[in-house]
Amino acid sequence: MRLVAVHADITTLQVDAIVNAANTSLLGDGGVDGAIHRAAGPGLLAECHALGGCDVGDARLTGGHALPARHVIHTVGPVWHGGDAGESELLASCYRRSLEVAAQAGIRSLAFPGISTGVYGFPVEAAARIAVDTVREFDAATPHIERVIFCCFSHEDLAIYRRLLDG
Ligand code: AR6
């Protein structure tokens, strides 16, 4: 598996799947979730309605609709409450479940945003470390996915990921 970090709007990426930082309703809101729903069009919302929600730390698969990506994997990150409420384990679970769902669907390339690091307030550096470690562990156990992209929305986030991936 190749792990790379890029600076991009995730809705523009041509990959088998992009991951969405959703909420438990799966019905779209702001941030990357809002951007994905706007770019995918109303068909995505209809498909999400039928799923009936998703637990924190879990993931669900839909089509990509009008997106260049063929699928969207919706995962629900934890809200940051200071770090003693199981936030790290739940965030690791988001990455692991997204990869499991991707592998089951035969997805070979996927892109993650910084789950929970926007409105949900998870510190970026700690979140990036969990993201990279969890993807590397998954790769060692099940080498099905060829390319994982960490899609950074700021140059600061990109610098953090580049450092972790080089280290
Ligand atoms: N492409 C890539 N990354 C993006 C984009 C984009 N187009 N837009 C934002 N980001 P957030 P969360 C980055 O707040 O913290 C929603 O309302 C952003 O800079 O989208 O998990 C949901 O419905 C940050 O690094 O997600 C939930 O209610 C990262 O994506 C709640 O927000 C995540 O920021 C989830 O909060």
Model confidence at 141, pLDDT cuts 50, 70, 90, reads confident
Q: 65 and 71 in contact (C-beta within 8 Å)? A: no
Q: 126 and 87 in contact (C-beta within 8 Å)? A: no
Mutate to test the pocket of ligand 1, among 56, 152, 153 (most ligand atoms within 8 A of CB): 153
The predicted pLDDT at position 64 comes to 98
pLDDT, tens digit (0-9, with 9 covering 90-100), for 51-104? 999 999 999 999 999 999 999 999 999 999 999 999 999 999 999 999 999 999
CA of 31 to the centre of ligand 1 (A): 4
Q: How far apart are CA 12 and CA 61, in angstroms?
A: 19
Distance of alpha carbon 22 from its chain centroid, rounded?
Answer: 9
Handedness of CA 103, 136, 96, 162 (dihedral sign): negative
The predicted pLDDT at position 69 comes to 98
Q: Whose CA is nearest to atom 19 of ligand 1?
A: 153
Q: How far apart are CA 35 and CA 57, in angstroms?
A: 21
| Annotated active-site residue in 9, 16, 29, 33 | 33
- Those residues whose C-beta lies under 8 Å from the C-beta of residue 112, and which sit 6 or more positions away, are 19, 95, 98, 131, 135, 148, 149, 150, 151
Report all structural domains of the chain as residue ranges with CATH numbers, in order of start: 2-166 (3.40.220.10)
Model confidence at 142, pLDDT cuts 50, 70, 90, reads confident
Single-letter amino acid code for the residue at 85:
A
pLDDT, tens digit (0-9, with 9 covering 90-100), for 8-20? 999 999 999 999 9
- Tell me whether residue 16 is one of the annotated catalytic residues: no
Mutate to test the pocket of ligand 1, among 26, 32, 90, 150 (most ligand atoms within 8 A of CB): 32
